[in-house]
Structure formats: structure tokens, C-alpha cells
């Protein structure tokens, strides 16, 4: 260290958690006796590919989820204890803020329990409205939390502006949608539902948008009523499993909470001139909804379109 006083390799600008690899995390998880890890997905800066220091861990069983929630916070990853939580949008925003403002960008993890025999568990899990369930899963967020006060001089740049490519694509989809051409849009193939319910969808989309905007000041939006054109069952994208109407409504409700929190947050950000943050929040929300169990259903498309509309507005504001 002392020999390298002159060597400024910029590493000190980043926390150790940004260098933490997927293998570091899977090794750590295996070391506490969990053997059914499915996936580790990092949150990354879109333009540079750099890790934001937090990730989503996907696991097979609820047992493992509990084990990890209990034991992982006591493990050290490069000298720091990770924060582990269920995947919620709030947790995401919290970690995101940390990675933007703290000397120690964070480490984030999610965790999924794929399908089938897990119905009972899903029911119990879904009692928590803040839990983001991706596909058939329970989720955990994990983050490296130790703050290092000695690194006050840490000077992490502002997040880079969101990727032009992605914005292009979103704009394309918005334009295509506005022209009623969205069934031709390749990047977002639509299901049969969409073709049948296009007019309805178009109409409700505007409704949803206004609604979302108008509740931005409230704490938590309440969507008590079920979606008007909810079918009795939906074919699930990933495992061909039927979802009960009850379950379906619940996921819709969750998606709408994500959407409205994201829009409220994005509007606050853009009012403060933080357009990149605003766009990133919206893009992440779109991603979360597209990954939900009912991603192919019209209701998800409507929510995604509302988010894209806001994204589009913010993009124009930014220019």
C-alpha cells in the first residue's frame, strides 16, 4: 500500500462490493449450507456494465430463503456484512440511492422459488404486499451496507445518462403504440389477448396513466378493485401453469404499486433535475413488470405503456 502512494488506479473510488463477483456470492451462499441456488443477477450501470454493488438471488426453496435471511447477514464478503432483504421496490430504491450517494455502493440480491409444489408457500408469502414476487418466487435483496466514514472524499460520478439504445427502443414502442401499430412491433410481441382487446387496452391505458399520476402524493396506492378485463385464468409465460384469478389480481395489484411508486419517484427526481435517476427508476420498473408472472397479459402491457409514456415525457424534458 505505502509503496503505491503515487499509484492512483481509481480503485479507491469504488467500494469492494462493486468488484464482488457472482461466484463470490454463490460461494458464500454454499458456505452457509444452501445448495439450491438458481441464479445471481446483479444490478448494473447500463452504459458501462459496472456492478452497482447489489444483486438479486434466486433460490429453489423457502427453506433456503429463510436460511439466507438468517445467516447471510452474519457472513463477511470482503470484510463487510451484506444486507439481505426480500425484493421490494422500496428496497431497490434504497439500495439504488446508496449506490448513487454513498462511498460504498451496495451489493444486491434477489431470490426466487420456482413454481409447482410451492402454492402454499406462495400464498403465505403473498400476504406481504411489499414483497416483489418474480415468477414463482420469494425474493431477497442483499446489500453491502457497511459505511466507511474515512472515505468522505469518495467522488463517484453521477450515474451516466440512460442508454440511448434503450430509449430508442422505448420510443419506438411508444410511437408504434400511438399509431395503433404495436402488433407489428417486434421487440415486444403481444399475445392473442392484446389483439382482441386492443381498443379496451388503449382506453384503459390512458385511465391508468391519469390515475397513477394523480396518486403520486399518497403513501401507498390502494387498488382494491380488480382489473375490469381480468380473464378467469392466464397462461403463465414461464411454466405454462394456470394462475388463479385471486392470484392474478394480486400480481396486478403488486405491479401497479411498483408502477405508481416508480412514477411518483421519477417525477420527484425529474423535478429536481435528476433525469437520469428518473429514467433509470422507470426502466427498472418496466423490467420488473416484464419479468412478472403475468408479463404477457394486457394489464401488464398497459402498465408498461404508462411507464413508457412517463419515460418519454421525462426524456423530452431532459433535452
Partner 1 sequence: MALSTSQPVQNNVQSSPGTGWPRRTAPVKSSTCPSLNRHINLYPLSNYKFGTKEPLFEKDPSVPARFQRMRDEFEKIGMRRSVEGVLIVHKHGLPHVLLLQLGTTFFKLPGGELNPAEDEVEGLKRLLTETLGRQDGVQPEWTVEDTIGNWWRPNFEPPTYPYIPPHITKPKEHKRLFLVQLPDKALFAVPKNYKLVAAPLFELFDNSQGYGSIISSLPQALGRFNFIYM
- Residues interacting with partner 1, by CB under 8 A? 18-23, 41-42, 44, 46, 48-51, 163-166, 168, 186-187, 189
Q: Exposed, middle or buried: residue 310 (CB in 10 Å: 0-12, 13-18, 19+)?
A: buried
Pairwise CA distance, residues 77 & 19, whole Å = 11
Pairwise CA distance, residues 230 & 245, whole Å = 8
Q: Provide the minimum distance between the beta carbon of 24 and partner 1 in the complex, in angstroms, as a whole number.
A: 8
Of 57 and 267, nearer to partner 1 (C-beta) is 57
Of 20 and 136, nearer to partner 1 (C-beta) is 20
Of 63 and 184, nearer to partner 1 (C-beta) is 184
Strand bridging mode 37-44 / 51-59: antiparallel
Q: Provide the minimum distance between the beta carbon of 272 and partner 1 in the complex, in angstroms, as a whole number.
A: 27
Of 116 and 187, nearer to partner 1 (C-beta) is 187
Q: Provide the minimum distance between the beta carbon of 44 and partner 1 in the complex, in angstroms, as a whole number.
A: 7
CB atoms < 10 A from the CB of 131, how many? 18
Q: Provide the minimum distance between the beta carbon of 42 and partner 1 in the complex, in angstroms, as a whole number.
A: 6
Of 42 and 275, nearer to partner 1 (C-beta) is 42
Q: Exposed, middle or buried: residue 55 (CB in 10 Å: 0-12, 13-18, 19+)?
A: buried
Q: What share of the chain is helix, strand, coil (3-state, %, to 5)?
A: 50, 10, 40
Q: Provide the minimum distance between the beta carbon of 93 and partner 1 in the complex, in angstroms, as a whole number.
A: 21
Amino acid at each position: 500500500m505505502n509503496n503505491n502512494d503515487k499509484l492512483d488506479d481509481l480503485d479507491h473510488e469504488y467500494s469492494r462490493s462493486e468488484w464482488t463477483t457472482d461466484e463470490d456470492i454463490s460461494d458464500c451462499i454454499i458456505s452457509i449450507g444452501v445448495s439450491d441456488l438458481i441464479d445471481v443477477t446483479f444490478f448494473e450501470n447500463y452504459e458501462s456494465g459496472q456492478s452497482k454493488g447489489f444483486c438479486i438471488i434466486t433460490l429453489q426453496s423457502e427453506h433456503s430463503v429463510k436460511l439466507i435471511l438468517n445467516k447471510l447477514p452474519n457472513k463477511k464478503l470482503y470484510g463487510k456484512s451484506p444486507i439481505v432483504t426480500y425484493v421490494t421496490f422500496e428496497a431497490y430504491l434504497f439500495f439504488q440511492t446508496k449506490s448513487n450517494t454513498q462511498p460504498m455502493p451496495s451489493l444486491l440480491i434477489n431470490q426466487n422459488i420456482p413454481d409447482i409444489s410451492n402454492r402454499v408457500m406462495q400464498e403465505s408469502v403473498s400476504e406481504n404486499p411489499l414483497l416483489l414476487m418474480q415468477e414463482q418466487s420469494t425474493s431477497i435483496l442483499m446489500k453491502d451496507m457497511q459505511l466507511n466514514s474515512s472515505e468522505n472524499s469518495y467522488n463517484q460520478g453521477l450515474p451516466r445518462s440512460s442508454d440511448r439504445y434503450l430509449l430508442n427502443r422505448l420510443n419506438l414502442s411508444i410511437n408504434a403504440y400511438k399509431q395503433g401499430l404495436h402488433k407489428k412491433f417486434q421487440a415486444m410481441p403481444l399475445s392473442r389477448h392484446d389483439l382482441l382487446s386492443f381498443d379496451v387496452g388503449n382506453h384503459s391505458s390512458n385511465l391508468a396513466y391519469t390515475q397513477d399520476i394523480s396518486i403520486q402524493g399518497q403513501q401507498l396506492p390502494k387498488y382494491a378493485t380488480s382489473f375490469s378485463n381480468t380473464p378467469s385464468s392466464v397462461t403463465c409465460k414461464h411454466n405454462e401453469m394456470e394462475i388463479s384469478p385471486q392470484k392474478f389480481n394480486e400480481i396486478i395489484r403488486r405491479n401497479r404499486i411498483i408502477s405508481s411508486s416508480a412514477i411518483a419517484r421519477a417525477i420527484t427526481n425529474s423535478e429536481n433535475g435528476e433525469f437520469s435517476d428518473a429514467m433509470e427508476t422507470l426502466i427498472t420498473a418496466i423490467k420488473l413488470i416484464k419479468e412478472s408472472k403475468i408479463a404477457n397479459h394486457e394489464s401488464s402491457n398497459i402498465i408498461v405503456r404508462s411507464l413508457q409514456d412517463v419515460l418519454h415525457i421525462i426524456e423530452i424534458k431532459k433535452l
